[in-house]
Structure 1
Amino acid sequence: MKGALLVLALMVTRELTFKTHEACPVFYETVFAVSLGLPRKALNETLDSVDANEAEKAAFGKLWDCFIEAEPEDRFNHLKYKVTYLYPH
């Protein structure tokens, strides 16, 4: 899972050529859309807002498919661990 997050971070900060402070909100919006299994339309709208190309959309789509196959409880646990990691006590 760490590898997938690294790929996402590199795609957003390097391939989409955004400055880091501009990329962070888009990155987290995309990650949460994928990990929560939000409708594909929400994911595509997020990617369209940053002019993602078809290859990038396909890559995020594959990640989205993996999360959709997971049970809702697993998706919630993944999100819970992510928030805990981002905002430690």
Structure 2
Amino acid sequence: MKGTLLLLGLLVTGELSFQTTEACLPFFEGYASVLSGSRVWLYQELQAFNATAEEKVALEKIQDCYSEERIRNILLEPKIMEAMVASPECLSYYGLDNIRSILDYISKLLGE
């Protein structure tokens, strides 16, 4: 399921003709909202992309899957997100200071 979410994000960025580096931040904001378990945060992120009702339902289901193994996700997923955000491509596009700010923000939101 997690791989599906990543693939979906990559397909959407390709379909919209964005470079994947430009999509790093929006993708991870959405990814963090799914991991958080907060429907309010999820809806806020989806609103920025004018998500359809079907897309909302699909991402709610993905969020429910993450919520089933909450403890594991709290411990493991932020590390995976950090590894992806700190990729050479994202670092070169956004810069180290911006990436540090993003990682700090995500850590605070996820309660680390």
With the shorter chain as reference, the TM-score category is 0.7 to 0.9
- 1:54 corresponds to 2:49: no
- 1:67 corresponds to 2:66: yes
Q: 2:25 — aligned with what?
A: 25
Structure number with the higher helix fraction is 2
Displacement after TM superposition at 1:55 (Å): 1.2
| Residue identity matched to 2:24 | C
Give yes or no for contact 1:34–1:64 (8 Å, CA) kept in 2.
Answer: yes
Q: Rate the CA distance shift 1:56–1:43 in 2: closer, same or farther, 3 A.
A: same
**CA offsets, 1:10-52, max 9 Å, x none?**
24553xx47342x432211010111232x10110011011111
TM-score, normalising length: structure 2: 0.60
Displacement after TM superposition at 1:70 (Å): 1.3
What SS class does the counterpart of residue 77 from structure 2 fall into? helix
Give yes or no for contact 1:36–1:79 (8 Å, CA) kept in 2.
Answer: no
Cα RMSD, aligned residues only: 2.5
Larger radius of gyration between Structure 1 and Structure 2: 2
Equivalent-residue separation in structure 1 for 2:29 and 2:42 (angstroms): 9
Structure 2 residue ranges without an equivalent (≥5): 88-112
TM-score, normalising length: structure 1: 0.73
Give yes or no for contact 2:9–2:27 (8 Å, CA) kept in 1.
Answer: yes
Displacement after TM superposition at 1:82 (Å): 2.8
Equivalent-residue separation in structure 1 for 2:83 and 2:24 (angstroms): 17
Structure 1 residue ranges without an equivalent (≥5): none
Equivalent-residue separation in structure 2 for 1:61 and 1:18 (angstroms): 26
Q: Rate the CA distance shift 1:13–1:27 in 2: closer, same or farther, 3 A.
A: farther
Displacement after TM superposition at 1:72 (Å): 2.4
Q: Rate the CA distance shift 1:81–1:26 in 2: closer, same or farther, 3 A.
A: closer
Query: How many residues align structurally?
Result: 85
